[in-house]
Each structure stands twice: as structure tokens, then as C-alpha cells.
Structure 1
Amino acid sequence: MADGKKRIAVTGGHGKIGNVLVPYLRDLGHDVFVIDRDEPKSLDEPMMVADLTDFGQALDALSSIGKDVYARAEPKAFDVIVHLASMPHPRMVPDSEELRLNMMATYNVFEAARRLGIKNVVWTASEVGTGVPYDKTDAPYVPVDEDYPMRGYNVYSLTKVLGEEMAKQFCLNDPEMRITCLRLSNVMDPEEYAKFDTWQEDPTQRLWNFWTYVDNRDVAQAVAKAIDYDVRGKDAFFITNDETVMSTPTAELLDKHFPNIERRKEFVGNEVVISNEKAKRVLGFQPQYHWTDEK
């Protein structure tokens, strides 16, 4: 481990990503503390039940040291905050409520980190902030990279656009702060690979994000890499697989479904359209799990 054992707070640690990430980080030797609205999975789980849309609860949870009778609140309680907590999909609740939940939780985590002197935050942002669904927003070019224009097509994606801008402003106002935004693609668990077969005859089902995905286990790897990325300021990385969800060659799919889009490279095989090149080059991220290997 590059920088040794760290004390890490994981918000939303009982969600889809957290269920894989938390044990992964513990296996690496880190001391992981979960903050979630759900009850503990066991009486021995290091966690706090808290509503992160309430600033007082966020501040208290992110200042937690120790456990049981030795537990107390202190600044700099954690070396790193991994902020997963979010509404995972659009239209799960009314739009105004989704805006409130996602934005208040993200603001409260960033602001609590600033006040507590916790300088390292890894936030799982999303591909959706760059105009997903791409088939509805006149995508300008492929492959999609981190220079892509941001566009909040719906309230869910708007919270990701605003969250990244907020991260930028927090880091401008505190030059010692680091907020690494991981723009996750559509996260898949291995048991979900069975449904990939249903898309092969109808690629239009996955036009919305250029047929892109990422394995949940590779998300855990990306977060671990981002934890060790010790560069101040706000930065963003797409976290995707190397391949699309389709067996059809990517160039053929683009010819048929996006014939007029600018192509800035030649695509080989079913090469991914939302590029993970920066994450590989800067973070050392390398996808290890591929749907074509696990069918």
C-alpha cells in the first residue's frame, strides 16, 4: 500500500458500491468507518447512523474517533472521506427532493471536511454530468474525455454538474484541499452480466451512455487508487471498462447510430467510447473484470 494504513470514512457505505468497496479497503489494511442512514449490519460494525442532509449530523459523524465508551468527536478524525451517499437514479423521488438530497449531502460533506481539517475527499460523481443521455443532447465528439462539456440534462445529472463545480470552488478557497471526482459509468455487479445478452440484438437500449459500463470491483480499485492520489485541488476521472456492453464493434455501432459525430480516434473491436485513459495514466487504474470473461 503506497501510503500505509489510513482511517477512512465511507458515506453511503451500505449501498451497491459500498458493499464491495468497504471490505476491499479493509482487506488493504485501512480502518474504515461507515456513515449511512441504515442500521449497522452487525453490532461490531464501525459505523454511525446519520442523515447527511442535516449539517449537524454530517459534522458529528465525520468527527468520530474511537468506539463504544471510548468514542468521541474530534477534528481531523479521518485521513480521507469517500463520499458515496447519493440518490442513485433520477426520478426516484420528486425532482426538487432529489436536488435537495444530493446537493445538501454533498455540500455538507465538503463543508464538514473543510471545517474539520480533513483535506482529502474522494467523491463518486458520474458520467451523467457530461450530457447523458448522449443520444438526446447532441454529443459533440467521441471518445468522451474529461474535457467534454458539462450538461445537466435532468435533475439527477444537474446535481453532478453542480457538485463538480462546488468541488472546484472548495479547492480554490482552500489550496490544501483535494477533492477527486470519479465519474463512474453504469456500475455492474457480476450477476448482472446475464442481461448483457438481451442488448445484443437491440443496441438502442444502451445509446444513452454509448454502451459503457464498469464492474463494481473495478470501482473499488479506482477508489483505492484515488485515495493515494496526493495532488491538491479538484480533479475528475472517468472510471469505465475497456470494452462496451456490446459484442458488435464500436466503429460499426457509431456508423449506424451516431453517423455524424466527430471521431477523434479509430476504435478497435468493442473498445469503450467513454475513455478511461486519464484514469489509467494518472491514477494507475486498470480494469480487471470484463463481462466477456465472466459469461
Structure 2
Amino acid sequence: MRIALTGSSGKLGTVVARELRSAGHEVIGLDIRGERGSGFVQVDLVDYGQVIDALAGVNDKHDGIDALVHLGAIPAPGISSDVATFHNNMISTFNVFWAAVRLGIDRIVYASSETVLGLPFDIDPPYIPVDEAYTPRPESVYSLVKVLEERLATELVRWHPELSITALRFSNVMVPEDYAQFPFDADARARKWNLWGYIDARDGAQAVQRALKNAPAGFDTFIIAAADTVMTRPNAELVAEVYPEVETRADLSGTETLLSIDKARRLLGYDPQHSWRDGR
């Protein structure tokens, strides 16, 4: 497929672009900054005119898009002011989705966030492991935008039943260079904010590919995390120390992720292959 990828110069986007190209897809990178060539187009996603023009075709780079992967955003709370985060991320996503619909691009995969689950879990999660079954619980403006984006997608697919939009609720993205700081065993509370979760960017790219291939028409959400935690300490010990009052719904004897990826495994065929424990 010819795939438009927003946020192509970001931490996750760089890896997604590489992996999609390795799988034989043509990738048109759309971002506010990046290297010339290799299908890159400089676009300010807050400007709808630039977005729809870039997706429709740019000179000799392409003459139409088969699918859209939307990763472009201020990537976390606390980087910019709340107002700047809302204006940038909400308007960018509306522009990208709306332009895709207007151009007949009917397959969209985009980055939602683990933050919709209630991160940083200063208020206890409803149960452990967490999954997609409970109502989103945003605790920051960044997360609020992610919830609103999911609602936007819900209504767009209601209006356009042929449209497929998949929200991937990515955990904290890591690349191999980050693993020198692992594990975080010294203080169970240092990484409690996301139940000690993470995602290797290469597995994040795999989730994108599986969603592009396997997601049906309609809208759905999936938690995307590594198969394990950032700790060597067993989950039972961590939960007993940090979340003693929370209901548990699985065997916590090991170090398996507490951000449930069962739904992504079952419906998308997601199968994470990378772990910090491998050392690379």
C-alpha cells in the first residue's frame, strides 16, 4: 500500500516508517520537520489546507493514498502548555481524519494513548490488569484530547460505515538505547504511573501493520504494550505494595504486562517480539 504517515520524524514514527518500508509498503512521511527525500513532505497538521493538499498528492511524490497512519502530535503531557497541547493535537487529528474522509481514504490507524486508562494512576485503577472494557478516565488535558479523538472516530465511522479507524493505545515507547536504564526495581513507585508498562517501538510498528491488515470497518481501541513489565520483581509483590486495595483478575506471579494486550492479540494478531530483557 501507499501509506501516509504523520509524525514520521518522531520516536515511534521513525521506526514505523522503517518497518512499513521493510514490509514493502510505500510510505509518504508527513511532519513539521524531517529530512528531504524518501517521500517526506513538510506539513503543519494544524493547517487543514496543507493536510488535504498533501494527502491528495504532491508533485511527483504521489498521486493518492491507500491508508493513513496518524502519529503526529505533541507526544505527552507536560511538554507544552495545556492550551497549546489541546489546540495542536485536537485540531491536527480532526484535520487529518476529515481530510482522509473527504478524499476517500477509508483505512486509518492512529496513536491513542495508555493515558486514557487513568494514568498516572494516582487514583487506583478499577482492577488489574487493566483493559479496554472500562470507560476512559482522562487525568490530563493531553489525555482528554485522546478521549475526544476516540469519540470523533466513533462518530465518523457511524456517518461512514465503510470507514475503518483503529485507535492504538500505545504504552510508553522505548527503543533499544533506552534499555540501559532498565530495570526499575529499586523503587516500585517510580513506574507505578502506568503499571510498570512500556512498548518497544518495533512492536509498536508491528501493531500498526497488523491493524492496517486486519482491522475491519468500524472503530475499535486496543492497548498496545510489551508482553512484560519494566521490572524483575513479580507483579504480585508490586501490586501488594502499591495497589493493595485493587481487585486483581489474573495470576500475578510473574512479570507479564499489567496493561492487558489480550484483545490486540485476539483481534489484530498482535504478538510482541521484543523485550528489554533481551538487551537489544
CA separation in 2, counterparts of 1:49 and 1:79?
19
What's the TM-score once normalised by structure 1's chain length? Answer: 0.92
Q: Does 1:142 align with 2:128?
A: yes
Kindly provide the CA deviation profile for residues 217-256 of structure 1, in whole angstroms up to 9, marking residues without a partner as x: 1111111111102411111111111111000000111011
Q: Which residue of 2 aligns with 1:109?
A: 96
When normalised by structure 2's length, the TM-score is: 0.97
Q: Specify whether residues 162 and 253 from structure 1 end up closer, same or farther in structure 2 by C-alpha distance, changes over 3 A only.
A: same
SS at match of 1:205: coil
What's the CA shift string for 1:10-29, capped at 9, x where partnerless? 00101101111111111111
Number of the residue aligned with 2:72: 85
Could you say which residue in structure 2 is the equivalent of 1:176? Answer: 162
Deviations 1:14-61 (A, max 9, x none): 11011111111111111110111114x24x321211111111111111
Matched, 1:194 2:180: yes
Given the superposition, is the C-alpha separation of residues 221 and 66 from structure 1 closer, same or farther in structure 2, using an over 3 Å criterion? farther
Q: Equivalents in 2 of 1:105, 1:201: separation in Å? A: 40
Cα distance change of structure 1 residues 259 and 180 upon mapping to structure 2, 3 Å threshold: same
Instruction: Report the equivalent of 1:27.
Output: 22
Query: In the alignment, which residue of structure 2 is the partner of 1:207?
Result: 192
- How far the C-alpha of 1:268 sits from its partner, in A, is 3.3
Q: Any unmatched runs of 5+ in structure 1?
A: 1-5
Select the residue among 32, 52, 56 that pairs with 1:37.
32
Deviations 1:67-100 (A, max 9, x none): 26xx66xxxx211100000101212221111100
Give secondary structure in 2 for the equivalent of 1:180.
Answer: strand
- For residue 167 of structure 1, what is the aligned residue in structure 2? 153
Residue 220 of structure 2 is aligned to residue 235 of structure 1: yes
Residue 137 of structure 1 deviates from its aligned partner by 2.4
Matches within 5 A, 1:258-277: 258-277=243-262
How far residue 162 of structure 1 moved from its aligned partner, in angstroms, is: 0.7
Q: C-alpha separation between the residues in 2 aligned to 1:37 and 1:157?
A: 22
Q: State the match for 1:17 in structure 2.
A: 12
Q: Unpaired segments of 5 or more residues in structure 2?
A: none
Q: Tell me the CA shift for residue 66 of structure 1.
A: 5.7
Q: Give the match's secondary structure for 1:18.
A: helix
The aligned residue for residue 56 of structure 1 is: 49
Residue 290 (str. 1) matches residue 272 (str. 2): no
1:3 matched to which residue of 2? none
Q: Which residue of 2 aligns with 1:244?
A: 229
Counterpart pick for 1:158 among 138, 144, 159: 144
Structure 2 residue identity aligned to 1:152:
P
Provide the alpha-carbon RMSD of the alignment: 1.3
Q: Is the 8 A contact 2:4 2:55 kept in 1?
A: yes
